[in-house]
Amino acid sequence: MYVANAQCTGYKQKTREETVMDIRLEKATVENAEEIHQIQIKSFKASLEKYEDYETNPGNETIDRVIDRINQRITDYYIIKYMDRSVGAIRIINLEDSKKCRVSPIFILPEYQNRGIAQKVFEIIEESYNPENGWVLETRLQEKGNCYLYEKIGYKKTGKIVRVNDKMDIVFYQKANE
């Protein structure tokens, strides 16, 4: 597994060839935008319908938004490959001022969820990036599976919760480097 051009400030990148559980991360380019967008729409469809968070849900974003993210100087975007199939994506953002990395978003196609893929992806990125002040991410408080995963892999709630609408809240997490 090769993670190229990792950007998070205050880290020493550990680059190595590796396949974990037959999972690879491939650095995304603008040429991958359509593929990422289609996977994103499918991955967030159920939550968009359930929570009706049209302003914040990645399932409601345009392809132009995906392209903008891929092109950001502070972003590394990866396609998640499982057994050579594109099954999701993850975006790592370099928060230069705080010397942290932020994960936003990570998504896996519904038919590949609950197989341990996301947990392995986090292992790969956390071995590849080592931000001086750790990691941050957020998720829907009502998505107990997401909260369980993040807490299982060492993320702690910060105490900050933001109400999006009467159906959902966003809960914030952080993880210090080990």
So what's the pLDDT on residue 5? 42
Calpha distance 103→9 (Å, rounded): 14
Fill in the amino acid letter for 100: K
- Report the CATH number that the domain containing residue 67 is assigned in CATH: 3.40.630.30
Q: For the chain, what is the domain count?
A: 1
Say if 92 falls within a structural domain. yes
Distance of CA 44 to the CA centre of its chain: 13
Tokens of 65: 């938004």
Q: What is the pLDDT of residues 40-92, one digit of tens each?
A: 999 999 999 999 999 999 999 999 999 999 999 999 999 999 999 999 999 99
Q: For a pLDDT cut of 90, what percent of the chain falls above it?
A: 87
The two tokens of residue 123 are: 């292992």
Contact by Cβ (8 Å): 94, 130: no
> Is residue 140 domain-resident?
no
Task: Say how many Å lie between the first and final Cα of the chain, rounded.
Answer: 22
